[in-house]
Amino acid sequence: MPVTAITLDAADWQDFRDIYAALLTALGAPDWHGPNLDAVYDALVAGHYRVALPFVVTVRGAEKVSAAIQTYLARLVTVFDDARAQYGVDARLVIA
């Protein structure tokens, strides 16, 4: 099965809301999806995103954002990794 590749540009992200504005739109998240790590995990596991599995989200430009955003992105990578390890969700988030 082909892997859907999604690329996000983080260069102008100022806070976590910018991350979610880009990520949730790219994944086709439902309107009720909250902007938090738990909601991302739950949606990955439950299959609530419109983008079909498997997919890889690559975040570019992360070296241009604040340390706080970089730390948050690392936590988001862990959420994707946990969903994959615990439930076999074939989705990854990569910081390039």
Cis peptide before 35 (omega within 30 of 0): no
**Boundaries of domain holding 54:** 4-95
Q: Using an 8 Å Cβ cutoff, are 76 and 37 in contact?
A: yes
Task: Give me the pLDDT at residue 77, please.
Answer: 99
- CATH code, domain with 31: 3.30.370.10
DSSP string, 43-84: HHHHT-SSSPSSEEEEEE-GGGS-HHHHHHHHHHHHHHHHHH
pTM score of the predicted model: 0.95
* pLDDT at 65 (0 to 100): 97
> 16 — phi, psi (to 5°)?
-60, -25
Tally the domains of the chain.
Answer: 1
Q: Divide the 96 residues of the chain into consecutive groups of 10 and give the mean pLDDT of each group.
A: 96 96 98 97 98 98 97 98 98 98
